[in-house]
């Protein structure tokens, strides 16, 4: 320990306290880092299980479960386009004016059509703007709707079934076969990065603009 005029700068007691404080500080920092990591990957942080308010009380349990409608009937782009798409008001009213006419509930849909616009739905699975996602590419690889959206045919109100954070997506991209998917095209190739061999789907540019 540094000395001045033959005497130590700190007493043995102060030195021991400093050492204990450093150990406790390091442990607290590690605990905070672990807590932050756990929270970042927790379902509550990503609103798993939460329903979003919608303009009309649409139920997947009735349409996909009870009636057995295919996902593509309402989400026409899911199998081939980047976005799954939302059903136009004409499609909703085309059925409900003939089969089950619930006028009060469909007032927002009619109002949007009369104004030349479309019904504004609250997205439950919207990804950040810096993320690139293509429904058609995932469908071509054999990824089923339930892999990301859960059992929507059982949901009276649509909720997020999976966190959809980067770690969750990478788990599948690193081992697609574990979820019953089969990469297609360039996604089947391996790449070298920093001396390590990585699946092409784990490359940053696959999902990030």
pLDDT given at position 35: 79
Helix/strand number for the chain, H first, E second: 9, 4
**In the chain, where are the structural domains located?**
60-86+121-207
pLDDT given at position 154: 96
- Asked if 82 contacts 133 with a C-beta cutoff of 8 angstroms, the reply is yes
pLDDT per residue over 111-141, tens digit each?
Answer: 888 888 888 899 899 898 999 999 999 999 9
The three-state secondary structure class of 198 is strand
Q: How far apart are CA 78 and CA 89, in angstroms?
A: 18
Q: How far apart are CA 179 and CA 181, in angstroms?
A: 6
In degrees and rounded to multiples of 5, residue 160 shows phi and psi of -75, 125
- Give the residue among 108, 65, 109 at the shortest CA–CA distance from 87: 109
């Amino acid at each position: 320990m540094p000395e001045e005029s033959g005497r130590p700068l700190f007493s043995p007691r102060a030195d021991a306290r400093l050492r204990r404080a450093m150990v406790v500080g390091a442990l607290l920092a590690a605990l905070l880092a672990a807590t932050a990591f756990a929270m970042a990957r927790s379902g509550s942080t990503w609103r798993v299980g939460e329903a979003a308010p919608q303009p009309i009380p649409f139920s997947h349990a009735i349409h996909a479960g009870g009636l057995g409608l295919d996902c593509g009937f309402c989400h026409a782009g899911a199998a081939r386009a980047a976005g799954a798409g939302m059903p136009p008001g004409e499609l909703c009213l085309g059925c409900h004016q003939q089969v089950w006419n619930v006028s009060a509930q469909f007032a927002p849909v009619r109002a949007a059509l009369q104004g030349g616009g479309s019904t504004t739905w609250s997205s439950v699975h919207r990804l950040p703007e810096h993320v690139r996602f293509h429904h058609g590419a995932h469908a071509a690889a054999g990824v089923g709707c339930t892999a990301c959206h859960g059992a929507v045919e059982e949901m009276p109100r649509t909720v997020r079934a999976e966190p959809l954070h980067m770690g969750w997506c990478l788990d599948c991209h690193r081992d697609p076969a574990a979820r019953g998917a089969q990469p297609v095209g360039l996604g089947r190739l391996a790449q070298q990065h920093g001396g390590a061999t990585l699946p092409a789907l784990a490359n940053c540019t696959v999902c990030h603009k």
